[in-house]
Amino acid sequence: MVSVPATAIALAGSFTATFSASGLAEGATTLTASTAAGSVDTPVTVVPGGTGGFVINEVDYDQVGTDNAEWCELYNGTGRALDLNGFSLILVNGGTNPPSIYRTLNLSVAGSLGADQYLVVGADSVQASLPPETLFISLGSGSDYIQNGAPDGLALVDTNAGILVDALSYEGSITAVAIPGVGTVSLVEGSPASGADSNTAVSSIARIPDHADTDNAAADWRFVNTPTPGAPNAAGR
């Protein structure tokens, strides 16, 4: 049985509303939204729950000494090739009031991300260590590209659809940040992640098991002492 709410509330002047649907079969389907003025159909793809879709998968934002090897790994678990046109990775500073965007990264420069393929966005020093099949987007040859938290966050967005695809708030909770074309969103899925990167030991924070996404950051994210950019996440800690 497919279950959707009878109504979803959108504020005046807003073109978005959030709701949950359950019981949908895996694969392509269509959702229809109706108002007094008419209706609109939107094609959607349903992916297996718990294994993730297009997700933020691992982050190393803090290194021993100078932070000149920072990176964020994305993983395509949708089961199909993904055209990255319209996708962006948003970096959010949670230390301002309200939280603010300090960097927007256009992912379309990478073209298309294959099923089960990784995309790493990082400093140039990271690229040489990546598996050859990993896509890479350069942040530059410098340092301090990804802030160290308390708190900070990442948002993966589809600007064409105007939606938040995935998010991570680390070293604290960012529950409201305004993203142009998307709206005000929370970067906390379920309960906040408790793991934090380290500046005294080689480490990262990662989804364990690899690319697991239960919509509960506290369960999905772990501190790991074996960073694996462009490869399946290791559970060692």
Q: What is the pLDDT of residues 6-65, one digit of tens each?
A: 566 665 655 556 555 655 555 567 778 777 777 877 766 554 444 459 999 999 999 999
Q: Give residue limits of the domains in the chain.
A: 1-46, 54-224
- Please tell me the total number of residues recorded for the chain in this structure: 237
Inter-residue contact 81 to 115 (CB < 8 Å): yes
Instruction: Give the architecture-level CATH label for domain 54-224.
Output: Sandwich (2.60)
3 state DSSP class of 235 = coil
Question: Residue 138: what pLDDT?
Answer: 98
- Quote the pLDDT of residue 92: 99
Identify the bridge partners of residue 41 per DSSP, sorted by sequence position: 32
Q: Enumerate residue ranges in the chain where pLDDT < 50.
A: 1-3, 47-51
Measured CA distances, 122 to 91, 128, 130, 141 (Å)? 13, 11, 11, 9
- Is residue 185 within 8 Å of 38, Cβ to Cβ? no
